[in-house]
Amino acid sequence: MIDSHCHIAGPEFAGDLADIIARARTANLAHALVILAADDGPEIEQGRRVAEQWDAVRFSVGVHPHAAGKFAANPGDAPEVVDSVIAAQPLTRGLGEIGLDYHYDFAPREVQQQVFREQIRLARRRRLPIVIHTREAEDDTFQILEEENAGEIGGVFHCFTGDRAMAQRALGLGFHISLAGIVTFRRALELKEVAKLVPLDRLLIETDSPYLAPAPHRGKRNEPANVVRVAETIAELRGSDAQAIGDAARRNFERLFNP
Ligand SMILES: [Zn+2]
Ligand SMILES: [Zn+2]
């Protein structure tokens, strides 16, 4: 079992990290990719404490599209900040989450695009796979990925919520698809179809904790141990078992992130 995307270096977990890690170990998690916001000093600091306590942890570092506005005056500063965090954290294995979020539009779209683009270039220089966050921005996301030849470094569409056509598009560029707790929600019918079609060698699973707790924990703080529920749901949909899904996700994680 693995958790390909969680935010346990965030303030929600500062008080009970040891308990969270103990439950993740009990759930047999072999790897967890912890996301660090490059512009968030306390998160980077807590990331070090997480890594001291749990050897399964690796990091992905980036400027989230929500934070892109901080670099509106000079989008070229974003990759510099990311690069310095990567240089200081030897357990970094990914660049992200990066991308476009037109649902919240917390930063102007042109700024989001430029900050996304600059970070893909950094990922190419650093030879790191990218962790993509995209919401209501499908066409612009693919245009930038194609223009920047992001398929050469590869990566993952994290917390995938698109339809089957978008999944095929992501797979066609060579990317992995990571499913989060949303796939457990009763009404997520299209996503359940996506869960059936992703080839087993391109599938990842995640919690995106503290967000998106799977059923029956919906609405509560999520944590890495809950990724088992995601694997169980995908297994039910595919007529497989949770262990097989977890094992496949682990192999994919190891090939992609070289933990
Ligand atoms: Zn995200
Ligand atoms: Zn995230």
Read off the pLDDT of residues 168-210 as tens digits, 9 standing for 90 and up.
Answer: 999 999 999 999 999 999 999 999 999 999 999 999 999 999 9
Burial class (CB in 10 A: 0-12, 13-18, 19+), 134: buried
The rounded distance, in Å, linking the Cα atoms of 206 and 180 is: 5
Q: How far is the CA of 37 from the centre of ligand 1 (A)?
A: 11
Q: How far is the CA of 131 from the centre of ligand 1 (A)?
A: 9
Is pLDDT above 90 for 219?
Answer: no
- Note the pLDDT of residue 215: 82
Q: How far is the CA of 96 from the centre of ligand 2 (A)?
A: 9
Q: How far is the CA of 73 from the centre of ligand 1 (A)?
A: 24
Of the listed ligands, the closest to the CA of 7 is 2
Burial class (CB in 10 A: 0-12, 13-18, 19+), 19: exposed
- Note the pLDDT of residue 80: 97
Token readout for 85 is: 């965090």
- Note the pLDDT of residue 213: 86
1 band by pLDDT with thresholds 50, 70 and 90: very high
Decide if 51 contacts 91 (C-beta within 8 A): yes
Decide if 94 contacts 155 (C-beta within 8 A): yes
212 band by pLDDT with thresholds 50, 70 and 90: confident
Instruction: Give me the residues paired with residue 178 across strands.
Output: 204
Of the listed ligands, the closest to the CA of 161 is 1
Of the listed ligands, the closest to the CA of 65 is 1
Phi and psi at residue 99, in whole multiples of 5°? 150, -150
Of the listed ligands, the closest to the CA of 34 is 2
Helix (H) / strand (E) containing 18:
helix 17-26
Q: What is the mean pLDDT of the chain?
A: 97
